[in-house]
Structure 1
Amino acid sequence: MASWLPETLFETVGQGPAPSKDYYQLLVTRCQIIFRWWKISLRSEYRAAKPGETKESHEDFLENSHLQVQVALIFGARILDYVLNLCQGKYDFLERLSDSLLLSIISYLDLEDIARLSQTSHRFAKLCVCDQLWEQIVQSACDTITSDMRALAEDIGWKQMFFTNKLQLQRQLRKRKQKRESLRRQHQP
């Protein structure tokens, strides 16, 4: 299964903790960790400092507590934990699925499960409120979707349309239709 993985497993950039202005990059490939830094300073002794780079195998990184501490200080403990898991061969395959495939899967969940899933990560939070998902959910719940319904969904959003009760929805559709007809009458000679 690891052969399905791309060469680059993870990449992030960040700035060192204050007052530092130094920039860092952390790159995790299938076989090594690459840690790069660029010194940014107004102090004369650091102006000529060249960018630096450290490359380590996954096994060496797991034993290098100094580099682990640097990664934790710059990128945070969660990133360090994620990188340690990658080095140990613990891959999050779900995180690597495309948005369109995840949306298709999510559309089969119950509403309560969608609400819970939206709280698990920033990515799932965005996916669980996106119009693509709610359009799929509305289509599975309705027999037919008219062009008026589609136009209303573009105005108010598919999620809002799903949670709007039928009476309110019919009233909004009727208002849209009346507005369109009055505009048409105004433009007739």
Structure 2
Amino acid sequence: MASWLPETLFEIVGEGPAPSKDYYQLLVTRSQVIFRWWKISLRSEYRSTKPGETKESHEVFLQNSHLQVQVALIFGARVLDYIFNLCQGKFDFLERLSDSLLLNIISYLDLEDVARLSQTSRRFAKLCTSDKLWEQMVQSACDTITPDMRALAVDMGWRQMFFTNKFQLQWQLRKRKQKHGSQRDNQH
């Protein structure tokens, strides 16, 4: 399965903790952890300092506590944990799927499962509340979607439409037709 992975598994950039203005990049490839830094300073003794780079194999990075401390200080403990998992071959393939494919998969879940999934990460929260997902959910629940229903969904949102009962939807559609009918009459 690792052959499905791109060459670059993870990349992050950031500034060092205050008062430092130094700039850092952490790159994890299939075989290496690459840590780069650029010294940013107005002090004359640092003006000629060249950028630095450390390249370690995954195995060596897992043993290099000095580099691990630097990564944790600059990018945080969660990033360090994620890098550990990558170096140990623990890949999150689900996170690597495209949004459209994930939306298709999510559309087959029960409502309770969609609600639970939305609480697992920011990405899944965004996907589970997206109009694209709820449009798919409405389409699977309804035999046909009329142009009036589609226009109403654009106004109220597909998620709201999904959770609105049939009587309320019919009332909303009637109200919308009346409103647009009277607007057309006023224009002529």
User: Aligned residue for 2:135?
Assistant: 135
Residues 98-150 of structure 1 deviation map (CA, whole Å, 9 limit, x = unaligned) = 11111111011111111111111111111111111110111111111111111
Long gaps (5+) in structure 2: none
Tell me what 1:112 maps to: 112
Counterpart in the other structure of 1:82: 82
Measured in 1, the distance between the counterparts of 2:92 and 2:166 equals 41
Q: Which stretches of structure 1, 4 residues or more, deviate above 4 A after TM superposition?
A: none
- The match for 1:145 is 145
RMSD: 1.2
CA shift for structure 1 position 84: 0.7
Aligned residue identity for 1:148: D
State the AA in 1 paired with 2:157.
Answer: G
Counterpart check, 1:172 vs 2:172: yes
| Cα distance in 2, alignment partners of residues 48 and 124 from structure 1 | 46
TM superposition shift of 1:179: 1.5
- Give, as a single letter, the amino acid of the residue that structure 1 aligns with 2:100: S
Deviation at 1:52, TM superposition (A): 1.5
Q: Which residue of 1 aligns with 2:6?
A: 6
Q: Percent identity?
A: 83
Q: Which range is displaced more, 164-173 or 115-124? A: 164-173
Q: What is the CA-CA distance between 1:29 and the residue it aligns to?
A: 0.4
SS in structure 2 at match of 1:108:
coil
C-alpha distance in structure 2 between counterparts of 1:97 and 1:153, whole Å: 28
2:92 maps to 92
Q: What TM-score does the superposition give when structure 1 sets the normalisation length?
A: 0.95
Q: Which amino acid aligns with 1:12?
A: I
Mapped to 2, the partners of 1:47 and 1:123 lie a distance apart of 41
Per the alignment, in what secondary structure is the counterpart of residue 27 of structure 1? strand
- Which deviations, in whole Å up to 9, do the C-alpha atoms of 1:61-86 show, x marking residues without a partner? 11111001111111111111111111
Once residues 65 and 116 of structure 2 are traced to their aligned partners in structure 1, the CA distance between those partners, rounded to angstroms, is 36
How many Å separate the matches in 1 of 2:128 and 2:169?
22
The answer for the alignment partner of 1:70 in structure 2 is 70
Give the Å deviation of 1:167.
Answer: 2.5
Please give the alpha-carbon distance, in whole angstroms, between the structure 2 residues aligned to 1:9 and 1:96: 10
* Distance in structure 2 (CA, Å) of the matches to 1:28 and 1:133: 32
